[in-house]
Structure 1
Amino acid sequence: MNERFKASALLNPMFPDEITFNEKGVTFKVRKALSSTDNFVFYNDISGVEIEAGIFFSTIRIIPRMRQEIIMKNFSKGDAKKVKELLLQKVQS
């Protein structure tokens, strides 16, 4: 399973956030103008997933155990819902 989700390029065309699923965990790439942060989290280290839905876009908040939360912005509502479903499915299995 190698699924990838990118934030909308509408609000941030040059540096969209990205979420990549693989066999053991998930990578969260938060991009900024001059830097980016890659966070790899094993599925069993995720304690929660929250979605803040706006009119057009959603913010995904990942709550890992023993770490600071990871905030991913500007995902479509459908992608945010799919990311949450996949994470919860992997965390429970």
Structure 2
Amino acid sequence: MNERFSASGLMNPFFPDEITFGEKGVTFKVRKLFRSNDNFVFYSDISGVEIDSGMFFSTIRIIPRMRPEIIINNFTKGDAKKVKELILTKVQA
């Protein structure tokens, strides 16, 4: 299961955030102008997923156990819902 989701290019065309699903966990790549931050979280370490939806785009908030939350911006509402469903399916398995 190596699915990958990228944030919308409209808000940040050169450095979109990415979410990549692996066998044991999820990698969240949050990009900025001169740096990027990769966070790998095991499915078993995720305690919750929240979605904040705006008019066009959504923010995904991952709540891991024992670590600060991870915030990924500018995903389409459909992609945000799919990411949440995939994570919750793996967390409950």
Q: Deviation string for 1:38-63 (max 9, x for gaps)?
A: 00000000000000000000000000
Alignment partners' CA distance in 1, 2:61 and 2:84: 10
Query: What is the total number of aligned residue pairs between the two structures?
Result: 93
Q: TM-score, normalised by structure 1?
A: 1.00
Structure-1 residue corresponding to 2:41: 41
Structure-1 residue corresponding to 2:16: 16
Alignment of 1:1-93 (within 5 A): 1-93=1-93
Where does the alignment leave 5 or more consecutive residues of structure 1 unmatched? none
Alignment partners' CA distance in 2, 1:79 and 1:43: 19
Alignment partners' CA distance in 2, 1:11 and 1:42: 29
Secondary structure at 1:87 match in 2 = helix
Alignment partners' CA distance in 2, 1:22 and 1:70: 17
Where does the alignment leave 5 or more consecutive residues of structure 2 unmatched? none
Secondary structure at 1:62 match in 2 = strand
Q: TM-score, normalised by structure 2?
A: 1.00
Alignment partners' CA distance in 2, 1:62 and 1:53: 14
State the percentage of identical aligned residues: 78
CA displacement at 1:75 relative to structure 2: 0.1
Runs (4+) of structure 1 exceeding 2 A deviation are: none
